[in-house]
Amino acid sequence: MDQWYRTFYKSPIGEIEIMGTDKEICSVNFVKGRKRESAASLSPALKECVKQLDEYFKGKRRIFELMLRMGGTDFQKAVWLSLLGVGYGETTSYGDIAKSIGRPKAVRAVGNSNRLNPIGIIVPCHRIIGSTGDLTGYGGGLWRKEWLLEHERKHLKKK
């Protein structure tokens, strides 16, 4: 049985709780009012996740290279794996994700799976928008979704 670890990362848009094992990241979620723990006692996976989040928020990382453990139904996992294919600074719609997993009529289920994504930012659910181009739903709040998309667009232009 794997040992679980947890730490908190202070991002420019709020505190993020990171949970995982020695080798895998299992969740990355925004939280309120948590105390940041020392990175010295973290698992190798959490240390690497913190490092890569730092690089992402500094505009130096576009692709996360972490081992992930995604719980959930087969449908949810298919949605989350599809999200990994949406490039840095790009957006796509819930309908496009539904089509990409061979379930074109499952747009609402895709939206719900997106909402339940346990590994935010790294599995980029913030890059999924409504079919009209509007920002819709984000567990961390729409203002964070907008910030993340703008952050990526800004750094995409710099390279």
139 contacts 117 by C-beta, under 8 angstroms: yes
Is 49 assigned a catalytic role?
no
What is the residue-wise DSSP string for the chain? -PPPEEEEEEETTEEEEEEE-SS-EEEEEE-SS-PPPPGGGS-HHHHHHHHHHHHHHTT--SS----B---S-HHHHHHHHHHTTS-TT--EEHHHHHHHTT-TT-HHHHHHHHHT-SBTTTS-GGGEE-TTS-----TT-HHHHHHHHHHHHHHHHH-
8 contacts 30 by C-beta, under 8 angstroms: no
| Annotated catalytic residue within 125, 128, 148, 149 | 125
Identify any residues that bridge with 119 across adjacent strands, giving them in sequence order. 28
Annotated active-site positions, please?
125
